[in-house]
A and B are shown apart, each in its own frame.
Chain A
Amino acid sequence: MSTLNIVNKSPFEKRSLDQCLSRIGSDDAVLLIEDAVVVAMAGTRYESDLKSAAAAKKLYVLTPDVEARGLADKPVVEGFTQVDYKGFVALVTEHDRVHSWL
């Protein structure tokens, strides 16, 4: 039984990503959307935390939100998979439930 966890807040402002990661299992996935996408870019102070998280769980980032913020020119953190809106829908259907960490 797996859950798609959606996080939409930047960890520089809110702790929801950390709160999410501390409570999910290796079969669960995390999709970063909206302001949360900033942390999927290499070079932030959270990069090493996310690298180790990516080793244990599936991490995704929504490309349209990356592009909207002008961050598409930066490499993503190792272990992240980029998805478009179709990929977002596919993730929703592949998991048993969705948990949006508001």
Chain B
Amino acid sequence: MEEEYAGGVEKKFIYINRRAPHGTVYALESLETVLIGAAFDQDVSMLFIDDGVYQLKKDQSTDSIEFKNFSKAFRALEMYDVEKLFVEAESLQERGLSEDDLLVDVELVKRGEVKDLIDQQDVVLSF
């Protein structure tokens, strides 16, 4: 079964997502890293800024482009104890989107609050 993380030290990780899904592999790679990393019992948050907010857009339908609709996996993150999903309010607004357009519950942060969020982290991974 799952082994205990041998290091024993819990660190705070934030995954920062700045790219739209499907056009490049960044978004999928980020999500897979989060899911695999979740087995190590670390404190994990995700932050969506710039085009990264499109990753959480609801009603994605990828059948016609013959890609996997991995956006559905964002709804499974809770089961992996990844419960902190932050979205930058300005990035949504600039793109004509609001919280209602997103497929999961998120916490909105202002652009000016992003630094404070990052200052609380031990490790920053950017995709």
Judged by CB atoms under 8 Å, the answer to whether A and B touch is: yes
Chain B count of residues within 8 A CB distance of the other chain: 17
Task: Enumerate chain B residues within 8 angstroms of A102, measured Cβ to Cβ.
Answer: 18, 26, 126-127
Chain A CB count within 10 A is highest, among B18, B26, B122, B126, for B126
- Complex CA gap A2/B118 in Å reads 9
Q: Write out the residue numbers on chain A whose beta carbons fall within 8 Å of the beta carbon of B87.
A: none
Complex contacts, B39 vs chain A, CB 8 Å = none
Give Cα distance in the complex from A1 to B118, angstroms: 9
For the complex formed, measure the closest distance between the CB of A100 and the CB atoms of chain B, giving whole angstroms: 5
Measured CB to CB, the closest approach of chain B to A90, in angstroms, equals 19
Instruction: For B115, give its contact among A16, A28, A96, A101 (CB under 8 Å).
Output: A28
CB of A60 to closest CB in B, whole Å: 18
Contact B115 A23 (CB under 8 A): yes
* Residue in B26, B50, B122, B124 with the greatest tally of chain A CB atoms within 10 Å: B124
Q: Is A99 an interface residue (CB 8 A)?
A: yes
Binding site for B on A (CB under 8 A): 1-3, 15-16, 19, 22-25, 28, 96-102
21 chain-A/chain-B pairs, Cβ below 8 angstroms: A1-B119, A3-B115, A3-B119, A3-B124, A15-B50, A19-B49, A19-B50, A22-B111, A23-B111, A23-B115, A24-B115, A25-B115, A97-B118, A97-B121, A97-B123, A98-B124, A99-B124, A99-B126, A100-B124, A100-B126, A101-B18
